[in-house]
Structure 1
Amino acid sequence: MGYLRELPAIGRDIGSVLLLIGAATLLPIIVGCLYQEWYALPWMASSTAAMLGLGGILHLLPKNTKPPRASLSISATAVIWALVGFLGCFPFIFAGMPFIDAAFESMSAWTGTGFTLTTNLEDWPKTILLWRSLMQWIGGLGIVAFMLTVASRSGLVTQNLYRSEGGSESFMPSVIATAFQMWKIYLILTLIAIVAILLTGLSLWDAVNVAFCAIATGGMSIYAVGITHFDNLALEMVLIPIMLAGAIPFRLYYIIYVSRSFREILHDRVLHMIIGVFLLVSAVLIVELSVSGMPLVDTLREGLFMAGTVVSSTGFQNTTFAGWGMAPILFLSIFLLIEGGQGSTSGGIKLNRIQVMFEALGWWFRKTLRSPRAVVPMRHDGKPIYGKYAEGLIAKSLLLILLYLLLLVGTLIVFLHDPYFSANLANTVYDLCSCIGNNGSSTGVVGPLMPDYAKIILFFVMWVARLEIIPALILGWGILRGFDTQKGSKKRG
């Protein structure tokens, strides 16, 4: 139990993050005052008080001069997501949602999944609606970014925390500088999105909320029928590049910021993959929907928009899937698991890992066809890599892909024992892939009529998937067996 001595250091930094998020909750309270929604302020203040209170208590823990081990640092990421998932749900409870539904709604927003269990969204005050959009915006970039802004010391092994959520590569030598640049870029993208959406005819209130959810690839809406409330073709076409912008690795934006040129990123393979996958999915959907007899205008509108929302991991949808056959639904399900690039606001397996698998496959073929004595390097991003680095890259990517597939298969096996889910296999598969990919577009299977046990399971599925599984596994293992692995290995020796 020696690891308990390190928990105060982790607690202090978790407390710092909760204090920052608690301060962010003041924005919906200010909006509530502007709209004179005095009755809603206590609802919102409950989450503010909970986050600031718990954050303040944790921040008072004694300092620890020694940095905690990496397993505790990575576990702290999982703890933060779990805490904000629960603490952020209080306003939804006061808005009339049962506790399980409110917790699901909160986790769905924080993880950028975008599923909703609300039945009376139009009755909610603007205070709570903005909080719901803000949760997606904050969670879109990753609460880990908050860790980076406050971890001026090595107390949370910030590089490990960043990698657990945002990928294996940071784009600046300083972790703190990375965090600030990420938020600066994110704010600029958000402002651009707001202006672009305003030009389609939306009000400032609607534009801000839609922009928050689009650039964060969250996908929730402040209207019960979602984005179709506006019935605005121009809006839907503008949202496609905004959603894809959120799915692009943020290091590319930093390259543009530093070089003042688009030349270098135009050769980036992940960007090429995102555009290529979007065009592929769009083409297949347009052909499939045309064959089904859908009018050409609706085919183009639904095909392009749903391709953008699936590839970007956003979850906005301009269709109820009425008239869609099983083939396009299952086809989309595949891409719901993959989605954008590492270091972006997207969820899912990430295109980077699929890229590594294709590169590994090509490497294997080249090695097989060449002489056994020939040294054939694996090429990643056009550069040769050798030995253990290549093997480690392949192993990590393959492990994450297998874990995501196991999560899908395991959840599907449990759910198919229930007639509610087994009645429509294709729709159930689609919604589960959407959940695990933190997408949120739905055929209607995931909704308020879903059994409570399923809501609880999907609460944890969204949490685990957004963390990219490993931090949740390390946290679970640490709780059961302890984090002090070095001590255990000495005993075995």
Structure 2
Amino acid sequence: MNYRMIAYSVGRILVAVAATMLAPLGLSLLYGESIALAYVIPIVISVLIGLCVSAKAPKNKSLYGRDGMFIVAIGWIVISIIGCLPFYISGQIPSFVDSFFETVSGFTTTGSSILTNVEALDKSLLFWRSFTHWLGGMGVLAFAMAIFSSKDTRTTHMMRAEMPGPVVGKLASRWQFSLRILYGIYIALTVIEFVLLLFGGMPVFDSLLHTFGTAGTGGFGIKNSSVAYYNSAYIDYVIGIFMMLFGLNFNVYFLIIARKFSQIKSNDEVKWYIGMMIGAAVIIALNIMPMYHGFGRAFRYSFFQVSSIMTTTGYSTADFVRWPMLSQIILVLLMVVGACAGSTSGGMKVTRFIILMKTATHSIKKAVSPRSVFSVKVDGKTVEKNIVNGVLGYFVVYMLFAAVSILLISFDNKDFTTTVTAVIATMNNIGPGLGLVGPTGSFADFSALSKIVMSIGMLVGRLEFYPILILFSPYAWKRT
């Protein structure tokens, strides 16, 4: 393992993160806030540490799969620690654990919050809080290394470790070109949503921050009542549709640009994703229709909430804890499934869900006809056995980690619904759960231990377990 190159890479990432803090620093000065030092201190710390470990490039610049895992895991933990300092130093989130929880929730695009009055934060902190969503959405580490690294192999291992989904494929012959395409699409969609929100009468600052939260599918609200504050059908549908768009595999947009529409039509993940979202929205709308006195208004709220939950964004326009049990159960199931692989969303991913469902179906067929040969197919192509095994392994690790987290958090003696959905909401990078952590609640009342457990859950959920698990594996450290 190339320890020197790992340290060098993390150092470069620290410098990049320090640069991103210049934006909220500038805003704090613009608005005449008294918390400029809350940004200056972490910027200085990041730059000093970053330059110390990356001032001289190591002679051996080789990076392998395990090295990429280490860089991603260490990098995400370090940027979360550095990123939480503005909240902590400013005193507006006086607990370091709470500041860390909030920042991890931001970078992992979870949206769970310990704040009970978000509107009390200074504007620059609100900006930084939402900006972490936008940075974390596409993977800040791979983006930083794509800028700094001239070797495609270095970017490759980090892209595979950081990008969500069972398979990460290139859009172009080189990863750096692929990243440029991805971020070009990401920025274009961000700008379009921002402009549309402005047309809807939302203030510039609010439009920008809600766009950050939608693009990263993070969902940090800047009002205590989230998007419900604006009470606008236009805004609900704009944000709802863009949450849905950011939950799509970004390869789909590349195919649209390349006019390869036949590949989109044969894409099972897209069909399942859109079908599940529209189907769930219609069923919930019918279920809650008596509460909203008509299907049209009920569909407005159901579509927004389904889009928000399935894409793991976490914005809310209604207190869905008060909806009928059928609607709540559907939302919990969508929390687990999540959106598409290769998107900015969390959750298990639709592709994995498809593979698990087809594997289960074939297992039943195999039990009936033991001599028959069945293969799992997605998009009309046979899925390689190692990918199927990887999905099954992921599901086992997912269930074990969820069980251990629920047991640890149960020491806080919260009710069953709150405890279970708090773990699901954080581990799947969703934001709100049910019970005390519903859309009108917060995670403030959990103990420091529970917040640390859920912070780890957000990290492993965003990085899909293996980078963090490998980082804490003695076997991985011992191997040369």
Q: Same fold (TM over 0.5)?
A: yes
Structure 1 counterpart of 2:20: 24
Q: Which moved more, 1:82-91 or 1:44-53?
A: 44-53
Match of 2:51 in 1: 56
Q: 2:422 aligns to what?
A: 431
Partner of 1:224, secondary structure, is: coil
Q: Tell me the residue number matched to 2:129.
A: 132
CA contact (8 A) 1:306 1:317 kept: yes
User: Which residues in structure 2 correspond to 1:268-283 (within 5 Å)?
Assistant: 268-283=267-282
Alpha-carbon distance in structure 1 between the residues aligned to 2:226 and 2:348: 26
Q: What are the equivalent positions in structure 2 for 1:385-404 lying under 5 Å apart?
A: 390-404=384-398
Question: Are 1:9 and 2:5 an aligned pair?
Answer: yes
Farther-moved stretch of structure 1 (12-21 vs 234-243): 12-21
Secondary structure at 2:337 match in 1? coil
Return the offset for 1:319.
1.9
- Secondary structure at the aligned position of 2:424 is classed as helix
Q: Is the 8 A contact 2:426 2:455 kept in 1?
A: no
- 1:136-155 alignment to 2 at 5 Å? 136-143=133-140, 144-153=142-151
CA distance in 2, matches of 1:351, 1:188: 24
Question: Residue 65 of structure 1 corresponds to which residue in structure 2?
Answer: 60
What letter matches 1:45 in structure 2? Answer: V
Asked if structure 1 preserves the Cα contact closer than 8 Å seen for 2:134 and 2:213, the reply is yes
What is the number of equivalent residue pairs in this alignment? 468
Tell me the alpha carbon deviations over residues 40-86 of structure 1, each in whole angstroms, 9 at most, x when there is no partner: 22222233223222222221254132514421221210111101111
1:41 correspondence with 2:36: yes
How big is the shift at 1:393? Answer: 1.3
Identity %: 23
Letter aligned with residue 401 of structure 1: F
Distance across 2 between alignment mates of 1:330 and 1:154? 44
> Contact 1:10–1:155 at 8 Å: present in 2 too?
no
Q: What is the Cα deviation at residue 219 of structure 1?
A: 0.2
Partner of 1:114: 111
Q: Does structure 2 conserve the Cα–Cα contact (< 8 Å) formed by 1:347 and 1:439?
A: yes
After TM superposition, give the deviation of residue 194 of structure 1 in Å.
0.5
Could you tell me which amino acid in structure 2 is paired with residue 141 of structure 1? M
Question: Structure 1 residues 364, 280: CA separation in 2 closer, same or farther (over 3 Å shift)?
Answer: same
Q: Distance in 2 between matches of 1:268 and 1:261?
A: 11
Q: Please state if 1:213 is matched with 2:213.
A: yes
The CA distance in 1 between the partners of 2:92 and 2:30, in whole Å, is 23
Q: How do residues 194-209 of structure 1 correspond to structure 2 at under 5 angstroms?
A: 194-209=194-209
Q: For residues 425-464 of structure 1, what are the structure 2 equivalents within 5 Å?
A: 425-443=416-434, 444-445=436-437, 446-464=442-460
The residue aligned with 2:159 is: 162
Give the match's secondary structure for 2:377: strand
Query: CA 1:195–1:154 in structure 2 vs 1: closer, same or farther (change >3 Å)?
Result: closer
TM superposition outliers: structure 1 runs of 4+ over 4 Å? 260-263, 362-371, 374-377
Q: Secondary structure at the match of 2:382?
A: strand
Deviation at 1:284, TM superposition (A): 2.8
Shift, 1:133, TM fit: 1.2
Q: Which runs of 5+ in 2 are unaligned?
A: none
Distance 1:68 1:164, change over 3 A: closer
Asked if structure 1 preserves the Cα contact closer than 8 Å seen for 2:268 and 2:378, the reply is no
Does 1:409 pair with 2:407? no
Match of 1:490? none
* AA in 2 matched with 1:31: L
TM-score by length of 1: 0.89
The structural deviation recorded for 1:322 is 4.8
Partners of 1:74 and 1:161 within 8 A in 2: yes
Residue matched to 2:180: 180
Match of 2:330 in 1: 331
SS state of the match for residue 113, structure 1? coil
1:410-459 CA-to-partner distances (Å, cap 9, x unmatched) read: 2122223432x23xx22332232111110102333342122222111111
What's the counterpart of residue 357 of structure 1? 356
CA distance in 2, matches of 1:261, 1:69: 33
Deviates most, 298-307 or 450-459 = 298-307
Give 3-state SS (helix, strand or coil) of 1:300's partner: helix
Contact 1:113 1:440 in 2 (8 A): yes
Cα distance per residue 1:294-336 (max 9 Å; x no partner): 5336533321111010111111011223532444323311211
CA contact (8 A) 2:219 2:314 kept: yes
Task: Determine if contact 1:111/1:466 at 8 Å carries over to the other structure.
Answer: yes
Q: State the match for 1:491 in structure 2.
A: none
Residues 228-247 of structure 1 mapped to structure 2, 5 A cutoff: 228-247=228-247
Kindly provide the amino acid, as one letter, of the partner of residue 53 in structure 2: L
Residue 418 of structure 1 is matched in structure 2 by 412
Give the corresponding residue for 2:102: 105
Quote the Cα distance in structure 2 between the aligned partners of 1:263 and 1:201: 38
Residue 139 of structure 1, CA deviation: 0.3
Contact 1:217–1:243 (CA under 8 A) maintained in structure 2: yes
In the alignment, which of 76, 79, 92 is matched to residue 81 of structure 1? 76
* More divergent stretch after superposition (230-239 vs 50-59): 50-59
Q: How far did 1:14 drift? A: 1.4
Q: Conserved in 2, the CA contact under 8 Å of 1:121 and 1:222?
A: yes
Distance 1:65 1:193, change over 3 A: same
Give, in whole Å, the separation in 2 of the partners of 1:377 and 1:196.
45
CA distance in structure 2 between the partners assigned to 1:377 and 1:128 by the alignment: 51
Q: Deviations over 1:153-191 (max 9, x none)?
A: 2674x3232122223222222011111221111110100
Unaligned runs of 5+ in 1: 488-493
SS at 2:313 equivalent: coil
